[in-house]
Amino acid sequence: MTHSFLMIGQSNMAGRGFLKEVPSIDDEKIKMLRNGRWQMMAEPVNPDRSTSGAGLAATFASSWRLFHNQQDDIALIPCADGGTSLEDWAVEGPLFQNAVFQAKAAQKISTLQGILWHQGENDSNGQKYRLYGEKLALIMKTLREELKVPDIPLIIGGLGDFLQDGRYGPYFNEYNEVNNALIQFAKDHQHCYFVSAAGLTANPDNIHFNAISQRKFGIRYFKSFQQKTNIWESLPDEDHIIEAIHNRSLTKNEKIARLQYQFAMGAVTSNEFQEQLVQLQ
C-alpha cells in the first residue's frame, strides 16, 4: 500500500536547505511524484526553482517509515512554489489547479493521507494577516472537496523567528501576526494541527530554513500527524531521530540506485560500475 501526502505552500515547503550540509536520504520505500508516476525520492523533492534543496518532506517521510509497517510505501506529491502569496493560491488560480491535478493523479495509485502546508512569509506585511484565516479556509475547504478527503490531517507549520533579522527583515514585519493567524486556524478547524518552528535557524539569507532545521521540522510535522496534535516547541528526540535516519543502512536496491546515479553522472567508469554491481548482486 502507498500512503501519499500533498506538499503545498511556498519556498520553505519546497525546501531551500543546502543539500551539501546534510547526508542524503535514500530509501526505496519513499517515493515522489514525477509526471504522474512514482520515483524513488531524491532531494530536491520539489524542484520549483534552481535554488531548491532540502525540505521538510524528506524527514517527514523517514519518520513515518520508522513508525509504520515496513512493507508500505510513503509518497510525496510536491506542489509548493517559491515566493507565492496566499492570494496566488486562490482556488481558481494555476497553483491550486495544479495541486488538485497532481493529487488526483496520485490518488489513482495511492491513498492520500495528509496535507502539508507551509506558507505565509509573502503575507507578512500590509495587514494581509487579517484575512489570512478566512482565505486559507476557503482554499482548504475546496481542496478537501475536490479530492474527497474531508477528514485527513492538515499540518500547517509556523514561520521562522529569524525572518526579521536579515536583509529582507522589514518585508516580514508582520510575520508574528501571520503565525497567530495560522495558530488560530488550527484551533478553529477540525483535523488541522499547527507545528511550531521554534528554535529553527536559517540560511544566510534569513528567509529560508537551513538544511538541518528542515530535517527537524519534518520530524515535528510527522509527530503532529501521528499524534494528531499541535506541536508548540522543539521535540526532545529530534536529534536522535535525525541520527537514526541519516545512519540507516542501505538495502541492496538502494545501493544499486546510488551506484547507477554515480555511473550516470560519470563518477564511476563503466568497468567500476560493472564490478561493483556484481558485488552488490
Residues lying near its own copies in the complex (CB under 8 A): 16, 18, 34-37, 39, 42-44, 47-51, 79, 81, 93-95, 97-99, 101, 105, 108, 166-167, 203-208, 261, 263-266, 269-270, 273-274
Q: How far is the CB of 87 from its own copies (least distance, A)?
A: 13
Say whether 23 sits in a helix, a strand or coil.
coil
Which residues on neighbouring strands pair with residue 172, listed in sequence order? none
| Shortest distance, position 130 Cβ to its own copies, whole Å | 26
Tell me the C-alpha distance between 129 and 176, whole Å: 9
The answer to whether 100 and 29 have CB atoms below 8 angstroms apart is no
What whole-number distance in Å separates Cα of residue 4 and Cα of residue 258? 24
- Residue 30 pairs in a beta bridge with 74
We find the least distance from the C-beta atom of residue 204 to its own copies, in angstroms, to be 5
Nearest to 124 by CA among 164, 73, 96: 164
DSSP state of 54: B
| Kind plus residue range of the DSSP H or E element containing 83 | none
**Least distance in angstroms from the C-beta of 47 to its own copies:** 4
C-alpha cell at 140: 482548504
Q: How far is it, in rounded angstroms, from Cα 235 to Cα 246?
A: 18
Q: Where are the alpha helices (DSSP H) in 108-161?
A: 129-147
If one counts every other C-beta atom within 10 angstroms of the C-beta of residue 273, the result is 16
Q: Please say which residue, 145 or 205, places its beta carbon nearer to its own copies.
A: 205
- The smaller minimum CB distance to its own copies, of residues 27 and 48, is found at 48
Q: Which residue, 17 or 133, has its beta carbon nearer to its own copies?
A: 17
Nearest to 163 by CA among 267, 26, 11, 49: 11
Q: Nearer Cβ to its own copies, position 79 or 159?
A: 79
Query: Least CB distance from residue 230 to its own copies, whole Å?
Result: 29
For Cα atoms 196, 152, 218, give the angle at the middle one, nearest 5 degrees: 35
Residue 258 Cβ vs its own copies, minimum distance, rounded to whole Å: 10
* Nearer residue to its own copies within complex by CB, 203 or 224: 203
Cα-Cα-Cα-Cα dihedral sign, residues 151, 152, 158, 159: negative
Please identify, using beta-carbon distances, which residue of 166 and 176 lies nearer to its own copies: 166
Least separation in angstroms between CB 231 and its own copies: 28
- For its own copies, give the closer residue by CB, 54 or 231: 54
102/224 with CB nearer its own copies: 102
To its own copies, the closest distance from the beta carbon of 38 in angstroms equals 10
Interatomic CA distance for residues 15 and 19, integer angstroms: 10
